Amino acid sequence: MTFRDDTEATVGAISVLSDDVRRRVYFHVRAAPNPISRDQAAELAGISRNLAAFHLEKLVAASLLKISQPRLPRLRRPGRSPKLYSPADTELEFSLPPRRYDAMAAMLVEAVHLGGEAVRDAALRAARSLGVSIGAATLGESRLGRLGTERAIGLVRPILEQRGYEPEVRRNDGMEMLLRNCPFHGLLSTDKALICALNCEYVGGILEGLRVQAVEAQLVPRPEHCCVTVASRGRATDED
């Protein structure tokens, strides 16, 4: 596929999101912790079920959403099980003129491999340092004092949202923040262990720069989420 073909395909997919209502439906599906039905999408977006179905199917046709049908116990009355919609794995990147930052990132990962443990340690320190600078810049001259878990998570959440992590706060036997999207997903095939470690140091550095002590970044591998979880310091987190 030529650059022009690739650009036209990407623009076509992006244009599907130009409709305000459809875009709202899409982001509601992305934000949902589980696949949602047409009825749920309609309720979240404040529109009719038929209109929700129309927009959902447009998003599926553009490969922005995918459909699953749950296996339910046999119903007494005839009828199909409801379609459920969830985000597809499709990634859209668009730049004019073309840029290929992923190729450079892959080169740097390979450089870490060639450099051995000393270079790996340096990369981890660099990830932590970058995170600290982001957190410190956000904090500025503020003096927040000692924060509890809830306020600490509330402080860091918008920072991680801005950087594409799609954080989700959960309350079970405590409070934790799952990062539903990995902004570096495309690099996992190069060295997943390294990318996850760098990711954890990066998020941990943001917390450090914010001078947040109540929570920490922990590596908690989950197949459908980013490997990093923000939880109370010293608290063990279990895989889902």
Over the stretch 44-92, which tens digit does the pLDDT of each residue have? Answer: 999 999 999 999 999 999 999 999 876 555 554 555 678 899 999 888 8
Percent of the chain residues topping a pLDDT of 70: 92
**In the predicted structure, residue 193 carries a pLDDT above the cut 80:** yes
How many other CB atoms are there within 10 angstroms of residue 45's CB atom? 21
Among 202, 230, 196, 212, which residue's Cα sits nearest to residue 128?
202
- Considering the chain, what is the average pLDDT of its residues? 88
- Residue 91's pLDDT is 83
Q: What burial letters (b/e) apply to 214-236, b meaning 16+ CB within 10 Å?
A: bbbbbebeeeebbbbbbbbeeee
What band does 240 get if pLDDT is binned at 50, 70 and 90? very low
**In the predicted structure, residue 24 carries a pLDDT above the cut 90:** yes
Among 8, 194, 140, which residue's Cα sits nearest to residue 227?
194
Over the stretch 135-163, which tens digit does the pLDDT of each residue have? Answer: 999 988 777 777 888 899 999 999 999 99
- 29-38, 93-102, 122-131, 162-171: which has the minimum mean pLDDT? 93-102
Domains within the chain, CATH numbers bracketed: 3-87 (1.10.10.10), 101-232 (3.30.1380.20)
- 107-116, 193-202, 223-232: which has the minimum mean pLDDT? 223-232
- 19-28, 51-60, 92-101: which has the minimum mean pLDDT? 92-101
**In the predicted structure, residue 224 carries a pLDDT above the cut 90:** no
Q: When comparing pLDDT for 23 and 222, which is higher?
A: 23
What band does 126 get if pLDDT is binned at 50, 70 and 90? very high
Query: What is the mean pLDDT of the segment spanning 213-220?
Result: 93
Between CA 163 and CA 186 the distance in angstroms is 15
- Residue 140's pLDDT is 85
CA angle 172, 193, 64 (to 5 degrees): 70
**In the predicted structure, residue 239 carries a pLDDT above the cut 90:** no
Residue 18, CA distances (Å) to 4, 21, 58, 105, 219 in order: 21, 9, 12, 31, 37
- Residue 77's pLDDT is 52
- Residue 26's pLDDT is 96
- Residue 1's pLDDT is 67
Number of H helices, E strands in the chain: 7, 6
Q: Supply 182's token pair.
A: 């990995």
**In the predicted structure, residue 16 carries a pLDDT above the cut 80:** yes
Amino acid (1-letter code) at residue 184: F
Q: What is the pTM of this model?
A: 0.81
